[in-house]
Amino acid sequence: MNSKYLIIISSGLNEKGKMIAGLNFAKNVHRKKLAEDVKVVFFGPSEEALGGKDKDIDNLFNMLTGSGIVPVACSGYAAAKNESENLAKLGFKLEDVSDTITHYVDQQYTVITF
């Protein structure tokens, strides 16, 4: 197994179905060990959808992080939307995701967006 996935979740609550699909995909691929590695990046509106705003999203997010995945969020977007503290409390690593995404692409990760 040589597959590595970078899952980018950028959809917000206005596209809740896409968020659920992305969270479930990441959780299941990681749980079933279907890939060598799974990274999850929240970018844009998805960063505003966590922390008590939707119980379905929060439950899936908790399952994802409970499985050992450490999510990354865009530090710039989080700061602009005053979400940095909330995301840090949820266990996010806040990074400049333009650097994060290009790093994983350079490392041959397959990028999947939701």
**58: domain CATH number?**
3.40.1260.10
- Reading the block at residue 38, the tokens are 């799974």
Read off the amino acid at residue 46.
S
Cα–Cα distance between 17 and 57 in angstroms, integer?
A: 10
Task: Look at residues 101, 102, 50, 70 and name the one whose alpha carbon lies nearest to residue 19.
Answer: 50
34, pLDDT greater than 90: yes
Query: What is the pLDDT averaged over residues 18-30?
Result: 97
pLDDT computed for residue 2 by the predictor:
73
pLDDT band for 1, please (50, 70, 90 cuts).
low
pLDDT at 13: 95
Domain that holds residue 105: 4-113
Look up the pTM and report it. 0.94
Number of domains the chain is built from: 1
Q: Are 31 and 67 in contact (CB under 8 A)?
A: yes
57-64: average pLDDT: 95
* pLDDT score of 40 more than 80: yes
